Amino acid sequence: MSNYNESGRKIVVTGAAGFIGFHLSRRLLSEGWQVIGIDNVNDYYDVTLKEGRLGILNGLSGFSFHRVDLSDGDGVSKIFESSGVNSNVPVVHLAAQAGVRYGIENPGAYVKSNIIGYFNLLEACRASKVPHVLYASSSSVYGGNQRLPFTTHDNVDHPISFYAATKKSNELMAHVYSYTYGLPTTGLRFFTVYGPWGRPDMALFIFTKAILEGKPIKVFNYGDMQRDFTFVDDIVEGITRLIDKVPVANPAWDGMNPDPSISWIPYQVYNIGNHRSEKLLEFISVIEESLGRKAIIELKPMQPGDVSATFADIDDLHRDVGFSPKTSIREGIPKFIDWYLDYYKLSR
């Protein structure tokens, strides 16, 4: 358990009504934290799902919720002031406009949330002198990189989606705030997160729904796809352990041979993934087994902004906090299926 929580201290979680934010908030509340949740509850996907998550969190002791869009800088500042956010209150920033393909048609949504909203959050954190900002980046920043596994020590200057570009910009903005204001920041590159209460725009949700309805599923790159699928509980465990791992200046950083994952200032970037790249067709096979039904598969060419494979190098995460995600898709997918059937009151 984090040292920050020795006396039931507060923590800010943005995107608290979101998939990961909900699971993280519930975990922290169970450990005695006072969670200050922020979310605009937008309609990017089914709002009733977000309200359902909030309903659970609102029923737990220690949770306070603020329905505010981070693009409202004054609104964010007022929440920090009224909630007593100070040098003892860490911040986990998970709010964002998600989705790779949505950015092709709606790039402005990413600027508003992932750039302006993120800037407003950093400003509020700076003004409140918070001790640590952890923020969600994404495996999508690896873009054109083809060397596997993806490591944070490699350059990531070739994004292939606007979403990825905004996430890379978040890392750069964090670095500037760590340098200029001494604000300790930790970037978290998540790899294909799945699990109960997941997002309807993600593959597991889409595939499960289609299979149950007897509808075909689209499998891109003609099925030649691999993903580092990471169960949400493993993501939450990684975040929770890192809350207390406040980055410090690294004097070993070499400007002649710059390592992108660290710096001479309090800045760090980690991958949080399963360190296992699964074939998408195998992923679908496990869904079929869990549902007891066969999928109708339509093979399609690669989509713009997508990559054929992801695979996380998590050596740094294990070295620094002693944790490596271990939940296999054969363990995690049935948990999602059980939740899905119960939530929508369906049978196999």
Identify the residue with better confidence: 43 or 120: 120
> Does 163 participate in catalysis according to the annotation?
yes
Average pLDDT over residues 210-224: 92
Residue with tokens 């041979």: 257
237 pLDDT more than 90: yes
* Tens of pLDDT, residues 313-347: 999 999 999 999 989 999 999 999 999 999 999 98
Q: How far apart are CA 210 and CA 192, in angstroms?
A: 20
| CA angle centred on 229, ends 338 and 35, rounded to 5° | 70
Question: Pick the catalytic residue: 118, 163, 194, 267?
Answer: 163
* Tens of pLDDT, residues 90-136: 999 999 988 777 778 889 999 999 999 999 999 999 999 999 999 99
pLDDT band at 7 (very low <50, low <70, confident <90, very high): low
**What pTM was computed for the model?**
0.95
Output the DSSP codes for 63-109.
Answer: EEEEE--TT-HHHHHHHHHHTT--TT--EEE------STHHHH-HHH
**CATH tag for 3-198+229-275+313-326 (out of 1.20.58.1910, 3.40.50.1970, 3.40.710.10, 3.40.50.720):** 3.40.50.720
Q: What's 113's DSSP letter?
A: I
Output the DSSP codes for 144-168.
Answer: T--SSSB-TTS------SHHHHHHH
